[in-house]
């Protein structure tokens, strides 16, 4: 099953696509000129919103067509050419945003202007954030040059990294037969029920990375070096402060989250050592066994099985979600299986102008694959709840972006656990703990790694050896004695695409926020039952209309209180207690 991108355009030389690029180019110029010449008033602000809405609609369609094509086929030359053609236009849109922000900065009567227009009221949070961010606008004399240089800097490094990853193949020997496989397929073998397959895949993967470590390190150095420069130009104290501002999140919330995560590390280490025992050995878990299935749960799901389970279990919570999942399968929103040239992992890309979402998966038949589909279709459901909002208000920050996806994972697991026998219960409890450990322990290792890399990029370029050393140090600090110190993964910096985003740095802590916030939201659902659905959809709908702390407060959650995060983490401690009891029995 491959996704149907013809809903966007028939091809890169289709008249509709070429016309939309020209229309986008004109809309970007109109937005820049309108913002720079604006005398701030209600009609002028309304005009600014309309021109930016038009540009955002065209940008979403044209850029997504290029990016989604490249995600499924890193070698598509027309998509590469289209992406390169669009980058200068995206820069002009960024200039338009900066110009509008600079105009709003000194306006003391913005709230009074907003109250005079329904259109402005609908975009009130956006306008207020633009005003606040006026202090982070790059000097207008420098911005065009800086943005052009990014096209041959960070953006080029990011694209190179994706091409390296998508095209890299691995020679792997199994059962006396050597096969050449896409890197994404080899990574997928970490979920294999066969220990020798997991071990062989891990060893083959680690042997493959040195073949591309030099360009990968160059990509990472370039992107993180540029991040430091951009933070300085935008008048942020650090790259982390820039990331927090982009996430609509404050430092007090991050500190509370990180404190609770650090406190939970001994519990997760206990889980890793228990899993090692369940797999037949003592001591720390071997890295290649992190995703090993435990127990006797069904492990050979087909896409049809996954669809039936998701529609039944998630649809019992929300009929609207059931309808959306059926549409996703029937209308081919999903690109399902790994193949050469296709990126690894999974993601969901909302297509607001079409009212749909595209999902990339690398389905390999495990329960984890089904859970991943539930996760990505949770993102799609979030987009579904926002599809009638203005496009400029349908974007939401990363910490809240994981709410619906993790909620779906949690809901699916709980529904299946309710009907599970002992062996299946062991398998599913272990899967939940495994997923949580990735989003707490591994995310913390990524946070430590990125913090160190960004700090050291101040005055040096890091070699592949140094990057591996920093990664191993971060893994030892977080996984501790939960993992076998002789069997870690020094090349996780090359494996994870999150480090290479030029738009989002510290692309890590939002996942931990999302995991634990969604657990807290799920607790509200357990308390209120079916009556919670309207509140839940309202929460999702409001995700782009307020600061993270304020959106969370709308359902009674204080995300700056460490006790909230401790309460969510206790859910996993309780699951570990139950798993230990079941395994012991």
Q: Is the pLDDT of residue 347 over 80?
A: yes
Average pLDDT over residues 520-541: 93
In a domain, 464, yes or no: no
Residues with Cβ within 8 Å of residue 82, at least 6 apart in sequence = 12, 17, 21, 62, 65, 66
- Write the pLDDT tens digit of every residue in 21-41: 999 999 999 999 999 999 999
3-state DSSP call for residue 571? helix
Residue-number span of the structural domain to which 134 is assigned: 5-152
In a domain, 312, yes or no: yes
pLDDT of residue 297: 62
In a domain, 460, yes or no: no
- Write the pLDDT tens digit of every residue in 402-445: 999 999 999 998 888 888 888 889 988 998 999 899 999 999 99
- Write the pLDDT tens digit of every residue in 316-340: 999 999 999 999 999 999 999 988 8
pLDDT of residue 299: 64
- Write the pLDDT tens digit of every residue in 219-267: 999 999 999 999 999 999 999 999 999 999 999 999 999 999 999 999 9
What Cα–Cα distance (Å) separates residue 260 from each residue in 15, 257, 380, 391, 508?
A: 54, 5, 29, 35, 16
Quote the DSSP letter at residue 238. S
**Separation of alpha carbons 48 and 43, rounded Å:** 9
Domain edge (last residue) among 118, 133, 152 = 152
- In the chain, the number of structural domains is 2
**Separation of alpha carbons 192 and 198, rounded Å:** 6
What average pLDDT does the structure give for the chain?
94
Domain edge (last residue) among 101, 132, 152 = 152
Closest C-alpha among 197, 193, 200, 199 to residue 278: 193
In a domain, 218, yes or no: no
* Residue 483: strand pairing partners: 285
Domain edge (last residue) among 127, 152, 177 = 152
Average pLDDT over residues 338-348: 85
Instruction: State residue 350 phi and psi, 5-degree precision.
Output: -70, 140
What CATH number is attached to the domain comprising 554? 1.10.1370.40
In a domain, 437, yes or no: no
In a domain, 30, yes or no: yes
* Residue 47: strand pairing partners: none
In a domain, 297, yes or no: no
Q: How confident is the model at residue 182 (pLDDT cuts 50, 70, 90)?
A: confident
CB 302 within 8 A of CB 365: yes
In a domain, 392, yes or no: yes
Helix (H) or strand (E) holding 9: none
């Amino acid at each position: 099953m491959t996704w149907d991108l013809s809903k966007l355009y028939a091809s890169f030389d289709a008249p509709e696509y070429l016309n939309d690029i020209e229309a986008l180019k004109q809309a970007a110029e109109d937005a820049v000129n309108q913002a720079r010449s604006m005398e701030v008033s209600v009609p002028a602000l309304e005009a600014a919103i309309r021109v930016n809405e038009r540009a955002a609609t065209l940008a979403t369609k044209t850029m997504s067509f290029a990016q989604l094509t490249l995600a499924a086929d890193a070698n598509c030359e027309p998509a590469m050419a289209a992406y390169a053609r669009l980058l200068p236009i995206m820069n002009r849109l960024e200039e338009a945003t900066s110009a509008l922000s600079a105009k709003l900065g000194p306006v003391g009567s913005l709230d009074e202007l907003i109250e005079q227009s329904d259109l402005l009221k609908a975009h009130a949070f956006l306008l207020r954030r633009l005003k606040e961010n006026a202090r982070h606008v790059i000097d207008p004399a420098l911005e065009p040059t800086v943005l052009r240089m990014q096209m041959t800097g960070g953006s080029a490094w990011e694209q190179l990294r994706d091409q390296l990853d998508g095209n890299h193949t691995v020679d792997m020997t199994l059962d006396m037969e050597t096969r050449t496989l896409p890197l994404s397929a080899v990574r997928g073998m970490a979920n294999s029920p066969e220990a020798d397959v997991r071990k062989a895949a891990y060893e083959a993967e680690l042997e493959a990375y040195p073949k591309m470590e030099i360009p990968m390190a160059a990509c990472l150095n370039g992107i993180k070096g540029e991040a430091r420069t951009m933070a300085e130009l935008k008048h942020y104290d650090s790259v982390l402060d820039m990331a927090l501002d982009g996430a609509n999140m404050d430092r007090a919330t991050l500190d509370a989250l990180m404190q609770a995560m650090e406190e939970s590390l001994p519990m997760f280490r206990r889980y890793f050592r228990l899993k090692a025992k369940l797999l037949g050995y003592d001591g720390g878990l071997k890295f290649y066994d992190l995703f090993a299935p435990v127990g006797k749960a069904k492990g050979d799901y087909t896409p049809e099985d996954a669809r039936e389970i998701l529609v039944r279990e998630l649809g019992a919570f929300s009929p609207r979600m059931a309808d959306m999942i059926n549409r996703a399968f029937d209308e081919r929103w999903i690109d399902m299986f790994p193949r050469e040239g296709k990126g690894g992992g999974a993601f969901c890309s909302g297509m607001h102008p079409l009212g749909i979402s595209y999902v990339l998966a690398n389905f390999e038949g495990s329960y984890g694959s089904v859970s991943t589909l539930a996760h990505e279709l949770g993102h799609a459901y979030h987009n579904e709840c926002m599809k009638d909002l203005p496009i400029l208000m349908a974007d939401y920050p990363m910490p809240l972006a994981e709410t619906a996806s993790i909620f779906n994972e949690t809901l699916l697991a709980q529904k299946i656990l309710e009907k599970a026998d002992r062996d299946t219960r062991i398998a599913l409890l272990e899967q939940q703990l495994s997923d949580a450990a990735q989003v707490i322990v591994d995310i913390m290792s990524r946070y430590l790694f990125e913090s160190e890399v960004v700090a050291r990029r101040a005055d040096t370029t890091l070699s592949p050896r140094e990057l591996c050393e920093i990664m191993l140090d971060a893994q030892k600090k977080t996984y501790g004695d939960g993992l076998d110190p002789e069997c870690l993964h020094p090349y996780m910096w090359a494996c994870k695409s999150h480090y290479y985003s030029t738009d989002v740095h510290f692309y890590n802590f939002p996942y931990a926020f999302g995991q634990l916030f969604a657990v807290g939201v799920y607790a509200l659902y357990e308390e209120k039952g079916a009556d919670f659905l309207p509140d839940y959809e309202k929460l999702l709908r409001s995700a782009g209309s307020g600061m993270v702390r304020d959106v969370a407060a709308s359902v009674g959650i204080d995300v700056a209180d460490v006790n909230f995060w401790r309460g969510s983490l206790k859910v996993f401690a309780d699951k570990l207690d139950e798993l230990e009891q079941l395994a012991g029995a």
